[in-house]
Amino acid sequence: MKKFLILFLIFFIANVIYGKYNHFITVSKDGSGEFKTVTEALESLPMFNYERVVIYIKNGVYNEKFRITQDYITLKGESKDSTIIEFDQLRTDWIANKDQIGPAVINIHADDIVLENLTIENTQPEIGPHAFAVFGTGTRTVIINCNVLSNGGDTISLWNYKDGMYYHTNCSFKGSVDFVCPRGWCFIKNSKFYELKNTASLWHAGGDNIDQKFVLKNCTFDGVKGFKLGRHHYEAQFYFIDCSFSSSLSDIPIFYVFNKDTSKNRPFNWGERDYFYNCHREGGDYSWFKNNLNTAKGSPSPNQITAEWTFGGKWNPEDSSKIKVKNYKIYDQYIIFNFNEPITVTGIPILKSRSGKLFNYYSGAGSDSIRLNFKGKISLTDLIGFKLDSKGMFSGTKASVSKRLVSFSILK
């Protein structure tokens, strides 16, 4: 009994000091994971989430819709075409009978969310009416290698009009009527678009900030005969770089929608801002998508138009470099490192310096300051050559394409 109490106390103290945090959760319909549905996995998380949590979803069809309210969540499927999250939901039906989940299959009300290797489909059958697959009001939303599908309009609607920033790559989008319609800043590359109706495929709202833009790079567009490329009801700014269009694209430039009742029109003071470079259509190009980057603000070159440029330097989801120490301070028995972004701590990391000094992680996970404890006095030479000496890990928490590890190399 005494031995049991000692073990319990050790376990309890370890959890108080280091915190018990499940950074990796598995969902599987066959019961081989911790949960059988994504909804259950999300409900298991704390109300406030400060570190990156990966919810790994095994292959299967998950007939559910859910709401994400915790920051720093990654939903990662086993495979793009075989991990399917689907639900039949018309927006009008949701408005008539509102629930707390939302009008889409995936409803994002949090920041730094990553969706990867998934098929997300609103299965309502009618072509045309609003039927969201993904709806969101957060910022720094990343979608990688996903099918995002609907027969209706507004398939993917990320609508944080003030500071919303969205990054998508290697995706397939399908829908009708403005089926990709971001508000704020959006960068999409290496993706396919298919329009089911002879209406506009794209829509943008960028009226809160003159720099807000929608950039599409190396994307392909196809659809029914006579589909239109894009339109907007608000101030908007489109960039198309190295894009290709099928012969079904109509000869109608991106256009601003005017309402006959002028009191309903939104401000349109900045003019039509649609920019193209090296875009071509099967069967012949239209004059309205000729090269004109030189007329854009700053006359950017095609190589300048990156994700980081799109977001005005506020966020670079393609950055794969290690996170570096901003500054540090040595105390009597511990050292605190400060970074430029919050840090996720996996396991209980131990760092070892070149001199053999061991530094044990103590606290700070989920913040931009990490405390490491050590025994005895420390000199500057003890800060040289930090390397992990355990299975733990320090990594960045913000949404990005790749995991960014922390470098503690502060002295050479």
Mean pLDDT to the nearest integer, 58-62: 98
Encode pLDDT of 66-123 as tens digits. Answer: 999 999 999 999 999 999 999 999 999 999 999 999 999 999 999 999 999 999 999 9
Mean pLDDT to the nearest integer, 246-268: 92
Can you give the pLDDT at residue 127? 97
In a domain, 10, yes or no: no
Q: Is residue 200 within 8 Å of 183, Cβ to Cβ?
A: no
Kind of pairing between the strands at 350-352 and 387-388:
antiparallel
Q: Which of 148-157, 265-274, 377-386 has the highest mean pLDDT?
A: 148-157
Residue 70 vs residue 9, higher pLDDT: 70
Verify that 80 and 215 share a domain, yes or no: yes
Verify that 271 and 365 share a domain, yes or no: no
Verify that 137 and 187 share a domain, yes or no: yes
Q: Which residue in the block uniquely carries the two structure tokens 């720093």? A: 72
Encode pLDDT of 227-239 as tens digits. Answer: 999 999 999 999 9
CATH of the domain at 45: 2.160.20.10
Verify that 284 and 343 share a domain, yes or no: no
Verify that 30 and 144 share a domain, yes or no: yes
Mean pLDDT to the nearest integer, 253-262: 91
Give me the number of domains the chain comprises: 2
Report whether pLDDT(355) > 60. yes
Report whether pLDDT(50) > 70. yes
Report whether pLDDT(215) > 90. yes
- In order of 52, 61, 304, 318, 320, the CA distances from 56 in angstroms are 13, 14, 35, 22, 22
Kind of pairing between the strands at 192-195 and 172-175:
parallel
- 3-class SS letters over 76-136: EECCCCCEEEEECCCHHHHHHCCCCCCCCCEEECCCCCEEECCEEEECCCCCCCECCCEEE
Q: Of the candidates 310, 335, 361, which is a domain's last residue?
A: 310
Q: Of the candidates 278, 310, 342, which is a domain's last residue?
A: 310
In a domain, 392, yes or no: yes
Tell me what percent of the residues of the chain surpass a pLDDT of 70: 95
CB atoms within 10 A of CB 348: 15
Verify that 76 and 181 share a domain, yes or no: yes
Residue 272 vs residue 384, higher pLDDT: 272
In a domain, 333, yes or no: yes
Report whether pLDDT(17) > 80. no
Verify that 297 and 235 share a domain, yes or no: yes
Q: Whole-angstrom Cα distance, residue 181 to residue 167?
A: 13
Verify that 273 and 353 share a domain, yes or no: no
The rounded mean pLDDT for the chain is: 93
In a domain, 201, yes or no: yes
Among candidate residues 376, 289, 345, the one with its CA nearest the CA of residue 72: 345
Find the range with the poorest average confidence among 12-21, 345-354, 370-379.
12-21
Verify that 69 and 174 share a domain, yes or no: yes
Tell me what percent of the residues of the chain surpass a pLDDT of 90: 84
Q: Is residue 167 within 8 Å of 161, Cβ to Cβ?
A: no
Encode pLDDT of 362-400 as tens digits. Answer: 999 999 999 999 988 887 888 888 888 888 999 999 999
In a domain, 8, yes or no: no
In a domain, 1, yes or no: no
Verify that 291 and 355 share a domain, yes or no: no
Q: Whole-angstrom Cα distance, residue 388 to residue 354?
A: 11
Can you give the pLDDT at residue 408? 86
Report whether pLDDT(4) > 60. no
Q: What are phi and psi of 53, to 5 degrees?
A: -120, 125
In a domain, 11, yes or no: no
Find the range with the poorest average confidence among 192-201, 305-314, 375-384.
375-384
Q: Whole-angstrom Cα distance, residue 137 to residue 131?
A: 17
Q: Of the candidates 281, 310, 339, which is a domain's last residue?
A: 310
Q: Is residue 392 within 8 Å of 134, Cβ to Cβ?
A: no
Verify that 29 and 142 share a domain, yes or no: yes
Q: Domain range spanning residue 293?
A: 23-310
What token pair was written down for 125? 């059958």
Report whether pLDDT(9) > 50. no
Task: Give 261's pLDDT tier (boundaries 50, 70, 90).
Answer: confident
Find the range with the poorest average confidence among 134-148, 174-188, 296-310, 368-382.
368-382
Verify that 91 and 180 share a domain, yes or no: yes
Among candidate residues 102, 98, 94, the one with its CA nearest the CA of residue 39: 102
In a domain, 9, yes or no: no
Task: Give 264's pLDDT tier (boundaries 50, 70, 90).
Answer: confident
Can you give the pLDDT at residue 15? 40
